[in-house]
Structure 1
Amino acid sequence: MIGQIRGTLISKQPPEVLVDVQGVGYEIQLPMTCFYQLPATGEPVTLVTHFVVREDAQLLYGFNSLAERSLFRLLIKTQGVGPKLALAILSGMNADEFVWAVNQNDVSRLVKLPGVGKKTAERLVIEMRDRLKDWQGSSTPATDAAPLDSITGDALVHPADARADALSALLALGYKPVQAEKALKAVYQQGESSETLIRSALKQLS
């Protein structure tokens, strides 16, 4: 089991990053709520991870805190929720927002997430409520994280590339092309980074 990765952040292509650990590059998928808190490329980064082994792939999922990983692990124990859907859920809302939605029986908010239909949302509320009764929150990061607006170390991205990257990330999270395009059109502002566009689009979709 690979439980933590510490190294240099080589590249960021939402929702995936590449981290160099002593010459070995690890591809790690993150929820967008964690992605926003990453440092600039070339900077050191520490992520707690969940390792998934399938017949056709070995996948690493990364998080900024142990609490976020804990919630991810609780999610994938729910019937019908695999790692991809859990990643999409935690991209559409952060850990504390999800816990609040479950405790409030807010099915209507959960069904706005990609891949979450009414039955899945109801199942999440029923199955997760007891699991989350002792939830302590997710405010403690695994490492010091720079807020998105302070990330200035990356190379400038052409606006068209930023929009294409944002669209690619939304599709990878499970949103339909029409949904993703509509959301990006509503929030697009020239010169914004792909991370900012994704965050704005996710708010629009929720």
Structure 2
Amino acid sequence: MIVEIEGILTKLMPNLAVIKTNGGVSYGVIISLNCNSKLKLGQNISLIITQILRDDANLLYGFMDKLEQDMFETLLKVSGVGANTAMMVCSTLSSQDFTLAIINGDISVLTSVPGIGAKTARKIVAELSDAKILNSQNIESYKSETILALESLGFKKDKIQKVLLDCKSKNTQDLIKEALKKLA
């Protein structure tokens, strides 16, 4: 399994980067438009890779950062969402915008992605609204701890997450106090 590729960027198209490694092997890697905007021909780059093996293809999807890769892989878990659709989301939304759209159930953000209609957007929100999936990739540990603590006090997860969007504290103890005042 290929997990990372490092080398010289020899060819760059909107959704494809060709990277020539020190060993002389060139790899074609499918990338998002966000990733493309950060690359320049001839530069030495390193991309995190998600490899998808199918009967008819061995596809490499490349990402500049782990958050974008996590967003891509999370979308692949949604039934009916394939790699092309997931890559369109990565090209259109930042990982933070995506996470907030899921937490807030904001279907309009997802329908702004070409190829995603209202039905698919509702399906993505429904299947990914479980905060456990999102917590592991895009929410700081002190926020995750706060969510768990407030849930143990009987508050609903979706209400907690909405309140946390307005909170400013940067550690678990202060964030719990601030959130409790807003939840009361």
TM-score with structure 2 setting the length: 0.70
Unaligned runs of 5+ in 1: 139-206
Match of 1:108 in 2: 108
The residue type paired with residue 26 of structure 1 is: Y
Contact preservation (8 Å) 1:67, 1:137: no
The Cα RMSD (Å) is 1.6
Offset at residue 87 of structure 1 (A)? 0.2
The residue type paired with residue 34 of structure 1 is: C
Unaligned runs of 5+ in 2: 141-184
Where do 1:17-56 residues align within 5 Å? 17-21=17-21, 22-38=23-39, 40-56=40-56
Q: Indicate the SS of the match to 1:124.
A: helix
TM-score with structure 1 setting the length: 0.63
Moved over 4 A (4+): none
Match of 2:166 in 1: none
Match of 1:182 in 2: none
- For 1:31 and 1:137, locate their aligned partners in 2 and report how far apart those are by CA, in whole Å: 22
Contact preservation (8 Å) 2:99, 2:138: no
Shift of the 137–64 alpha-carbon distance from structure 1 to 2, 3 Å rule, reads farther
Offset at residue 33 of structure 1 (A)? 1.3
Q: Indicate the SS of the match to 1:48.
A: strand
Match of 1:57 in 2: 57
Larger radius of gyration: 2
- Structure whose residues are more often helix by fraction: 2
Contact preservation (8 Å) 1:18, 1:25: yes
The residue type paired with residue 106 of structure 2 is: D
Q: Give the share of equivalent positions with the same residue, in percent.
A: 33
Where do 1:1-206 residues align within 5 Å? 1-21=1-21, 22-38=23-39, 40-130=40-130, 131-136=133-138
Q: Indicate the SS of the match to 1:133.
A: helix
Contact preservation (8 Å) 2:96, 2:138: no
The residue type paired with residue 135 of structure 2 is: K
